[in-house]
Amino acid sequence: MKKLFLETLGCAMNSRDSEHLVAQLNQKEPYQLTTELGEADLIIINTCSVREKPVSKLFSEIGVFNKKRKKGAKIGVCGCTASHLGKEIIKRAPVVDFVLGARNVSKINEVVDKHHAVEIDINYDESQFQFGEYRNHSLRAMINISIGCDKQCSFCIVPATRGEEISIPKDIIISEIQKVVDNGAKEVMLLGQNVNNYGRRFSDNSGSKYSFTMLLQDISKIDGLKRIRFTSPHPLHMDDEFLEEFASNPKICKQIHIPLQSGSTKLLKEMKRGYTKEWFLNRCNKIREMLPNVAISTDIIVGFPNESEEDFNDTLDVLEKVRFDQLFSFKYSPRPMTPAKDYENQVDAQVASARLTHLQARHTEILDEIMDSQLGCEIEVYFDELKANNQISGRSDEGRLVYIDGSEDILGTIRKIKVTKVSRASLSGELI
Ligand code: 5AD
Ligand code: SF4
> Average of pLDDT values for 67-81?
98
Return the pLDDT at 243: 98
Return the pLDDT at 208: 85
Ligand 1 centroid to 157 CA: how many Å?
A: 9
Fold of 2-119: Rossmann fold (3.40.50)
Ligand 2 centroid to 58 CA: how many Å?
A: 14
CA distances from 274 to 136, 153, 356 (A): 36, 9, 24
CA 364 to CA 280: how far, in whole Å? 21
CATH number listed for the domain at residues 140-371 = 3.80.30.20
Which residue(s) pair with 5 in the sheet?
43
pLDDT, one tens digit per residue, over 7-35 is 999 999 999 999 999 999 999 999 999 99
Return the pLDDT at 284: 98
Write out the residue limits of the CATH 2.40.50.140 domain(s) in the chain: 378-431
* Confidence class for position 206, pLDDT limits 50, 70, 90: confident
- Please say if the pLDDT value at position 215 is more than 90: yes
> Average of pLDDT values for 102-106?
98
CA 301 to CA 153: how far, in whole Å? 12
Closest residue (by CA) to atom 1 of ligand 2? 11
46-85: b (≥16 Cβ within 10 Å) or e: bbbbbbeebbeebeebbeebeeebeeebbbbbbbbbbbbb
**Nearest listed ligand to the Cα of residue 160:** 2
pTM (global) more than 0.95? yes
> Average of pLDDT values for 69-82?
98
pLDDT, one tens digit per residue, over 346-364 is 999 999 999 999 999 999 9
7-21: b (≥16 Cβ within 10 Å) or e: bbbbbebbbbbbbbb
Return the pLDDT at 211: 96
- Please say if the pLDDT value at position 99 is more than 90: yes
**Pocket of ligand 2 contains residue 180 by CB under 6 Å:** no
Return the pLDDT at 271: 98
What does the angle CA 284 – CA 290 – CA 295 come to, to the nearest 5 degrees? 55
- Please say if the pLDDT value at position 148 is more than 90: yes
CA 415 to CA 409: how far, in whole Å? 12
> What's the number of CA atoms in the CB half-sphere (13 Å) around residue 25?
24
CA 302 to CA 49: how far, in whole Å? 18
Q: Which atom of ligand 2 is least distant from the CA of 157?
A: 5
Return the pLDDT at 60: 94
Write out the residue limits of the CATH 3.40.50.12160 domain(s) in the chain: 2-119
Mean pLDDT, rounded, of the chain = 97
pLDDT, one tens digit per residue, over 295-341 is 999 999 999 999 999 999 999 999 999 999 999 999 999 999 999 99
- Please say if the pLDDT value at position 207 is more than 90: no
> What's the number of CA atoms in the CB half-sphere (13 Å) around residue 99?
24
Closest residue (by CA) to atom 2 of ligand 1? 332
Q: Which atom of ligand 2 is least distant from the CA of 54?
A: 3
Return the pLDDT at 45: 98
Query: Cβ-count burial of 240 within 10 angstroms (0-12 exposed, 13-18 middle, 19+ buried)?
Result: exposed
pLDDT, one tens digit per residue, over 266-287 is 999 999 999 999 999 999 999 9
CA 126 to CA 111: how far, in whole Å? 16
Q: Computed over its alpha carbons, how large is the radius of gyration of the chain?
A: 22
**Pocket of ligand 2 contains residue 10 by CB under 6 Å:** yes
* Confidence class for position 96, pLDDT limits 50, 70, 90: very high
Query: Cβ-count burial of 248 within 10 angstroms (0-12 exposed, 13-18 middle, 19+ buried)?
Result: exposed
Return the pLDDT at 346: 95
CATH number listed for the domain at residues 378-431 = 2.40.50.140
- Please say if the pLDDT value at position 205 is more than 90: no
| Best of 81, 156, 280 for a ligand 1 pocket test (most atoms within 8 Å of beta carbon) | 156
Strands 378-387, 391-396: pairing is antiparallel
